[in-house]
Amino acid sequence: MPTSRGRSGGLGSGLIIPTNLDFALTGVPLQEAGSAGGIVTTAQRIGQAFGVALLGELFFDSVGHGKSTNFVHGIQVALVGNLVGIVLTVVAVLLLPRRAQTPAH
């Protein structure tokens, strides 16, 4: 049976992904919305894969080869890396325009 943590694990994605899609697709012609949505979703998945790879690299680089005593240090380094990524993301979001510019006809 999943714990309460397991059930709420996707809460962040559920809050962010629809907003991200709405922002990215603003101003896209209706006939191109499907392709644009596919591009945005693909970019999100690639970003997630790079994020997991980067945090894994930070963790395993900190742990070293076969040294289980460095496990806690590896977790700490990976968490700090995750925090830096979150801060950079928040800064990037704050720099985005509030409304998408509509193309002139």
What are the structural domain ranges in the chain?
Answer: 37-99
In the prediction, which pLDDT does 103 show? 60
Helix (H) or strand (E) holding 53: helix 33-63
Question: Residue with structure tokens 């006809």?
Answer: 105
In the prediction, which pLDDT does 47 show? 87
- pLDDT tens digit sequence for 12-70: 677 777 777 787 888 888 899 889 888 988 988 898 899 899 999 989 888 877 666 67
pLDDT > 60? residue 78: yes
Between these two residues, 5 and 29, which has the higher pLDDT value?
29
Question: Residue with structure tokens 């830096």?
Answer: 84
Cβ contacts of 40-47, under 8 Å, gap ≥ 24: 44/17, 44/20
Residue type at 104? A
